[in-house]
Amino acid sequence: MRKKPVTGEYFLIFRATALNLSAACAIVLAMVDTQHPDEAPCSNAGAERKAPEPCTIVIFGASGDLTARKLIPALYHLCKDKMMPPTFRIVGFARREKTDESWRQELRAALDQFSRSKPVDETVWKDFAANVFYCRGDLADAAAYNKLEEMLTSFGSGPLRENLLFYLATQPSQFGQVVEELHRASLLHKDGVGWQRIVVEKPFGHDLASAHALNNELTRYAHESQVCRIDHYLGKETVANILMFRFSNSIFEKLWNRNSVDHVQITISETLGVGERGGYYEEAGALRDMAQNHMLQVLSLIAMEPPVSLEAESVRDEKVKLLKSIRPLAPADVAKQVVRGQYFAGAVNGQPRPGYRQETKVKTDSNVETYVAIKLFIDNWRWSGVPFYLRTGKNLPMSASEVRIQFRPTPNVLFAAQCGNHLDANALTLRLQPNEGISLRFNGKVPGMSLGVRPVRMHFSYDAEFGAYTPEAYERLLLEAIAGDATLFIRRDEVETAWQIVDSIRAGWQGKALTNREFYAAGTWGPIAADDLLAQLGHAWHEPLVIK
Ligand SMILES: NC(=O)c1ccc[n+]([C@@H]2O[C@H](COP(=O)([O-])OP(=O)(O)OC[C@H]3O[C@@H](n4cnc5c(N)ncnc54)[C@H](OP(=O)(O)O)[C@@H]3O)[C@@H](O)[C@H]2O)c1
C-alpha cells in the first residue's frame, strides 16, 4: 500500500524501472502520486532478460554461514521468481558429513529463518530441493575434486557438466588451491566447451601485494573475465540506481561538477560493535573492512564520468579511471586528511556496549580503528578542488548508508537580512539504506506576511513508489554471475587501485598510536578529530536522514 506524503513536506515521486545495469532504464519525474500513462517504464529489464543457460552452481563452504544466510535464500528466490535457468543443479562442497537429504533439511531450516518472504512456498521449495546435492570433501584433497567431477558428470554430458559456476565461500587463503584442483580435475578451463566462472567473496587480500598475488592465483587457470569479485554493495538496488539517476536525469547531470557541488559526504554507519568478530577485526579494521571496498565503490559510482555504454567494460573502465584520479596521499597528507577512531565503552540507543579493547579476541592495547573518516580530492576536470568526505564506523547511533551532495550556496545578497550567513545550501541525499530513496533539500518561503525562508525537502521513497519488494543484493549478484554480466563485479585493476589508496593510508599510520582525540564513546558519531577534519574547510558532518 502506498504511504501518504509526509505532512508539511513537498513530496516528489521519481519513477524508475527495475534496475538492471545492462538494460536501458528511465527515471521520470512526476509531482503526483498516481501513475500517468507517460510514466510507464521505457524498458522492463526483467521481461527483456534472456533466460540464463542451464548450469550447475558449486558452492565451496556449503556448511558455512554465508551459504545458509545469503546464498541459498537468494537462489531459492531466483527460482521462485522464475529467474533461474530452465534446468540447474546446486552442489554443496564441505568437509562435514552430510547426505543430500540431510543438507536439504538444513537448508530448509535456514530458509525458514532467513528467507525475505515467509512462509516458504512449498511447491517452489520441492522443485528447488530436488536440484540440490551435497559432495563431502576437503579442499586440500585432490580425490575430493575427482568425486565432484563424477557427480557433475552424472548430471549428463551437456550444459549441467560444462557450464559451471564455482562459488568460493571459503577463506581467501584457500582460493588458489581450489582453482588449481578444479583445473586438474578438468572442471575449469580458460578456453573450451561451455563456460566456467569463479565467484569470490571479500576480503579480497589485505593489501595490494596480497591482492595482486590472489589475482595471479585466480587467473592462472581462468581468464579475468571468468572471475567475479563480489562486493555485495554493488548488488543493492539503491547503489545500482546511482548510475541510472545520474545519467538519465539532465537536471542533475548538469549540476554534477565543481561549478555546482561544494562537497560530498559518504556515510556508512553501523550500530553494531565488533561483537564476536574481534579476531577478524584485529586483522582488518574499518579501513580494510569498509573503505577499501564499499566506500570506494560508492565513491566511484558517484563521481565517475559517463561510460560510453552500459556494457560491463565501459562502466568498469570509468570506475578505474576515477579511482586513479584520486590524489595520492603521502604520509604527511594522511595526518591532515585521514582520521581514525576507536570506540570506548558507552551505550547505543540505550544498550550498554563494552569498549573495543574489552571485546573478545581483541588486544587490550589494540590500535585497530573501528572508525575512519577520509577527505579525498579527485584531480580531474570535473571535480578539481571539491572535497569528498568518507566516513564509516561501528557503534555509531544509527545504521545507515547515504551520500549527500552538498551544493554551493547562493550569493549572500538577497536574504542577508533574514538569514545572515545561514541561508541553507541545497543538498541532494541518496539514501542507500534504510529508507531507500532520494531527498532534495531546498529553501521555501514560510507562509505568511513575513519573508521567512526555511529549508524543506522533497522525498522519493522506494517503498512508497514500488512497494516493499526489493531483491536481496545476492539475488542480483548470483543472477549476473550465472548470466555472465560482469558489470556488478570488481575488475582486477579496480581492486588493486583501491588497495593502493588504502595502503598509502596505512603507511601514514605506521607506528603511530591512537591519540586522545581519536577515541569516541560507543553511541556517538565518532571522534572529535573527525569534526576537526571537516571544520578545516568550514564544513560539518550531516547526520543521515531519518524518513518517518
Ligand atoms: N558470512 C557472511 O555474511 C560473509 C559476508 C561476506 C564475506 N564472507 C566471506 O565468505 C567466506 C565464507 O564465510 P562464512 O561466514 O560462510 O564462513 P564459515 O561459516 O566459517 O564457513 C566456512 C566454510 O568453509 C568450509 N571449509 C573450511 N575449510 C575447509 C576445507 N579444508 N575443506 C572443505 N571445506 C572447508 C566449512 O565447512 P566444513 O567445516 O564442513 O568443512 C564451511 O562450510 C569467508 O571468506 C568470509 O570472509 C562472509
pLDDT digits (tens, 9 = 90+) for 294-323: 999 999 999 999 999 999 999 999 999 999
Torsion of CA 35, 79, 64, 471, to 10 degrees: -10
- C-alpha of residue 463 to centroid of ligand 1, in Å: 34
> Does residue 95 have its Cβ closer than 6 Å to ligand 1?
yes
- Write out pLDDT tens, residues 273-296: 999 999 999 999 999 999 999 999
Instruction: Give the other-Cβ count within 10 Å of 157's Cβ.
Output: 9
Summarize the confidence of residues 243-252 as an average pLDDT: 93
> Does residue 277 have its Cβ closer than 6 Å to ligand 1?
no
Pocket test for ligand 1, best of 59, 66, 99 (most atoms within 8 A of CB): 66
> Does residue 373 have its Cβ closer than 6 Å to ligand 1?
no
Residue 41: asked if its preceding bond is cis (omega within 30°), the reply is no
> Does residue 177 have its Cβ closer than 6 Å to ligand 1?
no
What is residue 326's predicted lDDT score, i.e. its pLDDT? 98
Distance, CA of 540 to CA of 532 (rounded, Å): 9
Crossing angle of helices 122-129 and 72-80, rounded to 10°: 120
- Write out pLDDT tens, residues 27-48: 333 333 455 666 676 665 545 6
Summarize the confidence of residues 15-19 as an average pLDDT: 32
Q: Which H helix or E strand runs over 515?
A: none
Burial 435-446 (b: 16+ CB within 10 A, else e): bbbbbbbebeee
Lowest mean pLDDT among 9-18, 101-110, 431-440: 9-18
The percentage of residues in the chain with a pLDDT greater than 90, rounded to a whole number, is 79
Q: Which atom of ligand 1 is nearest to the CA of 202?
A: 7
- C-alpha of residue 119 to centroid of ligand 1, in Å: 27
What is residue 510's predicted lDDT score, i.e. its pLDDT? 94
Asked if residue 334 has pLDDT above 50, the reply is yes
Q: What angle do CA 8, 10, 14 make, to 5 degrees?
A: 145
Distance, CA of 424 to CA of 436 (rounded, Å): 24
Lowest mean pLDDT among 4-18, 53-67, 341-355, 485-499: 4-18
Asked if residue 410 has pLDDT above 80, the reply is yes
What is residue 26's predicted lDDT score, i.e. its pLDDT? 31
What is residue 416's predicted lDDT score, i.e. its pLDDT? 75
Give nearest CA residue, ligand 1 atom 34: 94
What is residue 412's predicted lDDT score, i.e. its pLDDT? 75
Q: Which of 294, 422, 539, 542 is catalytic?
A: 294
Mean predicted lDDT score pLDDT of the chain: 90
Radius of gyration for the chain, computed over Cα atoms and rounded to the nearest angstrom: 25
What is residue 21's predicted lDDT score, i.e. its pLDDT? 35
What is residue 469's predicted lDDT score, i.e. its pLDDT? 63
DSSP 29-82: EESSSS--GGGS-S--HHHHPPPPPPEEEEEESTTSHHIIIIIHHHHHHHHHTT
Summarize the confidence of residues 362-372 as an average pLDDT: 97
Q: Which atom of ligand 1 is nearest to the CA of 203?
A: 47
What is residue 44's predicted lDDT score, i.e. its pLDDT? 55
25 — pLDDT class (breaks 50, 70, 90): very low
Q: Which residue has the cell 577512531?
A: 341
- Write out pLDDT tens, residues 463-508: 888 886 678 899 999 999 999 999 999 999 999 999 999 999 999 9
- C-alpha of residue 171 to centroid of ligand 1, in Å: 6
- Amino acid in position 364: T
> Does residue 527 have its Cβ closer than 6 Å to ligand 1?
no
- Write out pLDDT tens, residues 249-274: 999 989 999 999 999 999 999 999 99
> Does residue 293 have its Cβ closer than 6 Å to ligand 1?
no
Asked if residue 4 has pLDDT above 50, the reply is no
Asked if residue 189 has pLDDT above 70, the reply is yes
- C-alpha of residue 61 to centroid of ligand 1, in Å: 5
Query: Which is more confident, 184 or 435?
Result: 184
Tell me the CA end-to-end span of the chain in Å, nearest whole number: 16
Summarize the confidence of residues 104-121 as an average pLDDT: 95
Summarize the confidence of residues 117-127 as an average pLDDT: 94
What is residue 190's predicted lDDT score, i.e. its pLDDT? 95
- C-alpha of residue 172 to centroid of ligand 1, in Å: 10
Q: Which atom of ligand 1 is nearest to the CA of 67?
A: 16
294 catalytically annotated: yes
Distance, CA of 148 to CA of 480 (rounded, Å): 24
Nearest to 206 by CA among 295, 285, 284, 296: 284
Give nearest CA residue, ligand 1 atom 17: 64
CB 56 within 8 A of CB 91: yes
What is residue 435's predicted lDDT score, i.e. its pLDDT? 86
> Does residue 543 have its Cβ closer than 6 Å to ligand 1?
no
Pocket test for ligand 1, best of 59, 95, 107, 114 (most atoms within 8 A of CB): 95
Q: Which atom of ligand 1 is nearest to the CA of 69?
A: 3
Query: Which is more confident, 329 or 420?
Result: 329
Give nearest CA residue, ligand 1 atom 26: 61
Q: State how far the alpha carbon of 391 is from the alpha carbons of 69, 94, 396, in Å.
A: 27, 37, 11
What is residue 8's predicted lDDT score, i.e. its pLDDT? 33
pTM: predicted TM-score of the whole model, two decimal places: 0.90
Q: State how far the alpha carbon of 315 is from the alpha carbons of 133, 301, 325, 466, in Å.
A: 37, 9, 16, 27
Residue 504's φ and ψ, nearest 5 degrees, are -65, -35
> Does residue 279 have its Cβ closer than 6 Å to ligand 1?
no
- C-alpha of residue 276 to centroid of ligand 1, in Å: 16
Q: What angle do CA 112, 115, 116 make, to 5 degrees?
A: 140
- Write out pLDDT tens, residues 130-148: 999 999 999 999 999 999 9
Pocket test for ligand 1, best of 58, 60, 65 (most atoms within 8 A of CB): 65
What is residue 48's predicted lDDT score, i.e. its pLDDT? 61
> Does residue 201 have its Cβ closer than 6 Å to ligand 1?
yes
Lowest mean pLDDT among 53-67, 221-235, 440-454: 440-454
- Write out pLDDT tens, residues 158-186: 999 999 999 999 998 999 999 999 999 99
- C-alpha of residue 96 to centroid of ligand 1, in Å: 12
